[in-house]
Amino acid sequence: MSLEERIQQVNQKIEDACKRSNRPFEDVNVIAVTKYVSLQTTGAVLDHGLEHIGENRWQDAQAKWETYGQKGTWHFIGHLQTNKVKDVIGKFAYIHSLDRLSLAKELDKKAASLGIKVNAFMQVNISGEESKYGLQPEQASSFLKDIQSFNNLKVIGLMTMAPHEEDPELTRPVFRGLRELRDDLNGQALTAEPITELSMGMSNDFEVAIEEGATWVRLGSILVGKEEGTRWA
For 95-147, the pLDDT digits (tens) are 999 999 999 999 999 999 999 999 999 999 999 999 899 999 999 999 999 99
Q: By the 8 A CB rule, do 29 and 10 touch?
A: no
Secondary structure element (H or E) that encloses residue 74, with its range: strand 73-76
Q: Summarize the confidence of residues 13-28 as an average pLDDT.
A: 98
Q: Does pLDDT of 53 surpass 70?
A: yes
Q: Does pLDDT of 2 surpass 70?
A: yes
Which pLDDT tens digit goes with each residue over 163-219? Answer: 999 999 999 999 999 999 999 999 999 999 999 999 999 999 999 999 999 999 999
Nearest to 204 by CA among 159, 178, 158, 170: 170
Q: Which residues of 92-109 are buried (b: 16+ CB within 10 A; e: fewer)?
A: bebbbbbbbeebbbbbbe
Cα separation of 225 and 41, whole Å? 9
**How many percent of the chain have pLDDT more than 70?**
97
Cα separation of 75 and 85, whole Å? 13
Q: Does pLDDT of 230 surpass 80?
A: no
pLDDT at site 226: 83
Q: Does pLDDT of 233 surpass 80?
A: no
Residues 6 or more apart in contact with residue 151 via CB below 8 angstroms = 108, 112
pLDDT at site 227: 81
Q: Residue 231 — very low, low, confident or very high, per pLDDT cuts 50/70/90?
A: very low
Burial class of 150 by CB neighbour count within 10 A (0 to 12, 13 to 18, 19+): buried
Nearest to 144 by CA among 160, 157, 161, 131: 157
Burial class of 88 by CB neighbour count within 10 A (0 to 12, 13 to 18, 19+): buried
How many Cβ atoms from other residues are within 10 Å of residue 19's Cβ? 11
